[in-house]
Amino acid sequence: MGRQAAVIAAASGLVLTVGVPAQASDAEREANSFTAVTAAQPVTVDVSVPADTRISFERASVTSEAAPVAPAAPAEVSVQSTETAEPAVDVEVEAPAPVVEEAPQPEPKPEPAAAVSAGNSSVAGAAYAGIGNPYVYGGTSPTAGWDCSGFVQWAYAQAGKSIPRVNQWSAMTPTSNPKPGDLVVQRGGAHVGIYVGNGQMISALNPSDGTLLHAVSAMPVSGFYTLP
């Protein structure tokens, strides 16, 4: 072990050192054991020194180590993605073309039947010319309107044939093989029209439909009549 010593430096330059050995020999340990009681008593030493005397003590060198520092918590690292957002792409959408509604076109008048060989063919041609005209009960004019019998009388008159205003079939001959231009009588004489072939006829039907081409089978047929 080391020792501690008190060094007194006087103004005269003398140095007094009082030391106690840290480790004694065997003889010294025996003497110390013999005088243990006496040595245990405190010893007082009066030392008089000048006022400007400097006293220093030798100390064992002490090496200190800094307390271990706990590792700091890892700092949060903000990782910025290197991916760049795709730029917005403006997509031009072609607007649909505006829908233009066309004004309704008048229905074309049906052409007269091609194969017309009977003597009343001109009557059928006149009947086609009357399609689209209004229906007026008791009327006989294509512009002011007509009813079914007024239309039939007008069509025959265009072909140069005269028939009664009503009950036209009374001046005609019945036929089971009608030709274009022959008279069609329906519902027991309540309605009449002009046959144009292929199961079709033209008549002034009613105020809602006016004069139009329609099937003979639209109403019960009472008979066909021809004019010699």
pLDDT tens-digit series, residues 182-193: 999 999 999 999
pLDDT tens-digit series, residues 36-55: 544 555 555 555 656 666 66
pLDDT at res. 74: 57
pLDDT category at 12 given cuts 50, 70, 90 is very low
Work out the angle at residue 160's Cα, subtended by the Cα atoms of residues 158 and 164, and round it to the nearest 5 degrees: 90
Backbone phi and psi for residue 166, each to the nearest 5 degrees, phi listed first? -130, 165
pLDDT at res. 120: 80
CA distances from 110 to 95, 176, 203 (A): 41, 25, 13
Check residues 80 and 179 and name the one with the higher pLDDT: 179
Backbone phi and psi for residue 169, each to the nearest 5 degrees, phi listed first? -65, -20
- C-alpha to C-alpha distance for 179 and 138, rounded to whole angstroms: 27
Which two three-digit tokens encode residue 161?
Answer: 């044939």
> In the beta sheet, which residues pair with residue 203?
212
| Residue % of the chain over a pLDDT of 90 | 46
From the list 136, 130, 133, 162, the residue with the least C-alpha distance to 227 is 162
pLDDT tens-digit series, residues 50-86: 666 666 656 555 566 666 666 665 555 454 545 544 5
pLDDT at res. 209: 95
Buried b / exposed e along 72-83 (16+ C-beta atoms within 10 A): eeeeeeeeeeee
pLDDT at res. 228: 78
Residue found under tokens 């039939």: 152
What count of residues does the chain have? Answer: 228
Q: Is the pTM of this model over 0.85?
A: no
pLDDT at res. 104: 55
Query: According to the per-residue pLDDT averaged within each range, which of 10-24, 36-50, 72-86, 122-136 is highest?
Result: 122-136
Backbone phi and psi for residue 80, each to the nearest 5 degrees, phi listed first? -95, 125
Helix-, strand-, coil-residue percentages of the chain, each rounded to 5: 20, 25, 60
Which two three-digit tokens encode residue 42?
Answer: 């405190």
pLDDT at res. 222: 96
Helix (H) or strand (E) holding 118: none
